[in-house]
Chains A and B, each alone.
Chain A
């Protein structure tokens, strides 16, 4: 069964850049069958889609975050990553990585999530 695991710093300072990595347990990241996404959830609040990336590196970002986001994929390491710049307290959230079937717009497998706190 597919497992996704988020890793990265849990405390980041305002104005700095957050880097989170998602490690995929199988080889599906190297196929054309899926895309790979990031979703976040501020404490006690709802879900917000951040963006997606394909195995070839094609990205699709949430326009509201697009100016601060970059994503990349490293199929040799079975990893993909999210960078979010110019952090503020409003970026404090649980960051989830998730997988979705190519051509569809839902996520069928999710990581456990990583709580990232933006604070000085």
Chain B
């Protein structure tokens, strides 16, 4: 059974940092692109970042470029999102997903507030 479990969310002050993790199981992790998508409270889905199977290609939405970094550890079947210089508008539930879009985790809430 494919499972994606996010962790690492929480309350952080503006300008702070958080590192989200996504533990993958039930499939051959290094065969898939992986993605992060977020959803602000009461708002729609927003794509955040994609990473290729070997980590050689990474893409970001403009609003997080230079602040967020997507990475992966294929040996540990894990996906990460390092979020620096966080802003109030980054407050959202963050979902990790398989690049084929068919499996998503249940999300982890990030709240940026003083």
Q: Are A and B genuine complex partners?
A: no
Q: Which residues of B contact A (CB under 8 A)?
A: none
Q: Which residues of A contact B (CB under 8 A)?
A: none
